[in-house]
A and B are shown apart, each in its own frame.
With several copies, the nearest count.
Chain A
Amino acid sequence: TPGETDPAAGGSGGASSDAGTPASPEAAKPGEKVTIGFSGPAADHGWMGAINSAALKSAKGFSDVELVVAEGTNDASLQISQIETFINNKVDAIVMLPTDGAALTDVAIKAMQAGIPVVNVDREFSSNFAARTTVLGDNYGMGVSAGTYICNELGGKKDAVVAEIAGIDSLPLTQDRSRGFKEALGDCGLTVSNRVAADFTVQGGEAATSQLLASAPKLDAVWNHDDDQGIGVLAAITAANRNEFFMVGGAGSKNAMESIKAGDSVLRATVIYPSTQAADGIAMARLIALGLPATDFVTQGVPNRVVLDAPVVTKENVDTYIGAAFDS
């Protein structure tokens, strides 16, 4: 992506905008208090709730950060107005998980132009000028990881029936995940035979899965995008008394990992999508606002783009990850 190399995005030594440039005169001096505005979608499910609580916790950890949290919302218009309020109130930095990346781009650019560095989390803006730095989970990578794992487990079984339980279908990230999944399966000659979409909720997961199971009498493998809706997915599987297949989860909740560890269900693995992105975002926003270098980096300043890993968690390695997993 060009953003990683484009200096105009506000990286170190950026000329066009001094937003967030470490050496900028506007930047707070180290040790001064900085105000960071945080705005994200409605915390209506576990992963999103974890994003919020991790963000709050991260902010608490810095004595020099005052975090201003705006009402979580799935309404782009309302979120825009929250960012506008942050701009008006001249916060020192903004961390934003946009409800829709493209729709919030314009206001993010406004913030940058007003000299307020923006850290973009999870759902990506459509312009490189909209954020000083971007922290992303790897959605496409999640799909690839899940698909590859399933390919391996099925060991070349050519007529295997693979199903997919997606999250909110209208989110670009869902599209990315599905694309990665499809392409990885394709590599081993498999296709997605049944696909349903839920809505990241337990209720939706249960409803979609019970229908899915009724329409697919025999399955070999299932990828479920999200471990929150996964609770409902598993409930439906249990109710239908089905265990002829194995399942891979997504996001990486503590429940899911416990279940993987115990080996007591069809859930055999999950693909991590870190719920700590916003917390990282706040840490980076602080560094940017205070003009501090990124620790342990030789290069000065925080990088422009951070794409977090999407590792597969299985029974074998679950202990490594379970400590950082989020509560559903």
Chain B
Amino acid sequence: MSENDSAVETVDAPPPAAAGVAGSHGGPAKPGSVFSRLSGGSMTRSIGLVIALLGLVLIGFLTAGDRFVSVGNLLVILRLASVIGVISIGMTFVITGGGIDLSVGSVMGLSTVVATLSWVQAFAKDSHWIVMVLVALLVGVAAGFINGFVVAYGGVVAFIATMAMLVGARGLAELLANRTTQIVNVNGFKAVFAGSLLGIPVLIWIFALVVAGGWFLLNRTTFGRRTVAIGGNVDASRLAGINVKRHTMYLYALTGLTAGIAGVMMLGRTTAGTSTHGTLIELDAIAAVVVGGTLLVGGRGSIMGTVLGVLIFSTLSNVFTQNNMSTSVQAIAKGAIIVGAVMLQQRFANRPTKKAVPPAPAPAGA
């Protein structure tokens, strides 16, 4: 064991130029740095994010003092982060695999509606609240499979295919809910998902589990390897015998699953199902993923980066509210901060220029 480890270390010290790159592949670039390992092996790439987050925390502390720095407020931030966080983890996969999913928000909305249809709730009351959970997950996965099928086998660009789903799922949700907000009346469900465990809200536990599972899946399993490979070079993957279409379909199904999970969480959070749940959440999720350092063209994804991205945005919104800022001012500041965070992050991320990102400031000679 230890022999092997040390061998890997020698191997792993590439010339400085390549360090950022090599380090990004789960190789224990800097042995002992737990953080760098978690962030997909690249501490450098995430350091800008951490700085941005700390900066925000500092601002929060300076402007709101104890109200900001309190366990209660921390939980508020984490609860806010949890729903979008779960969706962003799914989004990390699909983007790493070279795709995109614009339909997550509307699929999440649909899943909350279907799970709260009166007959579903009646059935859940008669049997077990888990029925509602299963229904929500099923809706998410089914929508994801349709996305995946249209993209992988129908050959429709992901942006368009999932945009169609975005529109369509919202319409279906409205139709099913008949435009009402459906209240959750299965008490077992509410008790669990609006409740806490060991003093920490269940939603936060779910978020943590999804993050851990997502990290493991992306960095330690064949599924994750295929995802990175396909996103990195689809032709090479296909010619090496990987079933690219099937995997692509699974990727969207996975994202659909996270949308379903987020739906369950949203039900717990709001105790109501409605077609408006999740509106515009896709943009926030994509922003979090990209700010987190996952390449929009695919081939590289960081779960921890995504988590940091999500935390930055929810902390931001908390700091704003703590300071009683108008939504308009918030919007302007948010725009500036998105750009700032990405620039900071890029400053620390010596990423190799990729030909596919055209107007990038890539120094001549890729």
Contacts and interface: CB of A to CB of B under 8 A. Distances in A.
Interface of A: 42-46, 48-50, 52-53, 68-78, 80-82, 84-85, 88-89, 99-106, 126, 169-172, 174-175, 194-197, 199, 201-203, 205-208, 210-215, 217, 228, 231-232, 234-235, 238-240, 255, 327-328
B346 interface: no
Contact of A44 (B190, B275, B314, B321): B275
B276 A170 contact: yes
Contacts of A88: 67, 70, 72-73, 76
A201 B201 contact: no
Given A71-B327, A88-B72, A102-B181, 6 more contacts: A45-B276, A74-B279, A84-B79, A202-B270, A203-B278, A211-B80
Contact of A84 (B76, B266, B279): B76
29 contacts: A43-B174, A43-B327, A44-B275, A68-B324, A69-B326, A70-B321, A73-B327, A76-B277, A85-B322, A100-B181, A102-B182, A102-B274, A103-B181, A103-B272, A103-B277, A106-B269, A106-B270, A171-B179, A172-B180, A197-B327, A205-B270, A207-B80, A208-B321, A210-B80, A214-B318, A231-B270, A232-B270, A327-B180, A328-B181
B327 A49 contact: no
Nearest to A99: B276
B67 A105 contact: no
Nearest to B84: A77
B317 A211 contact: yes
Interface in B273-294: 274-281
Contacts of A44: 174, 275-276, 279
A75 B281 contact: yes
Contacts of B330: 71
A297 to B, nearest CB: 32
A42 B178 CA distance: 13
Interface of B: 64, 67, 70, 72-73, 76-77, 79-80, 83-84, 174, 178-183, 190, 194, 201, 266, 269-272, 274-281, 314, 317-318, 320-328, 330
A124 B327 CA distance: 23
Given A210-B76, A211-B76, A239-B79, A202 B317 contact: no
A85 B315 CA distance: 12
B283 to A, nearest CB: 11
A68 B277 CA distance: 26
Contacts of A231: 181, 183, 270-272
A133 B326 CA distance: 26
B274 A100 contact: yes
Contact of B194 (A68, A195, A238): A238
B110 to A, nearest CB: 13
Contacts of B279: 44, 74-75, 199, 201, 203
A202 B289 CA distance: 25
Contacts of B182: 102
Contact of A170 (B275, B318, B320): B275
Q: Which of A69, A231, A255 has the most CB of B within 10 A?
A: A231
Contact of A81 (B80, B271, B326): B80
B324 A43 contact: no
Q: Which of B183, B280, B314 has the most CB of A within 10 A?
A: B183
Contacts of B270: 76-77, 80, 100, 102-106, 202-203, 205-206, 231-232, 235
A283 B190 CA distance: 34
Contacts of B72: 88, 214
A175 B272 contact: no
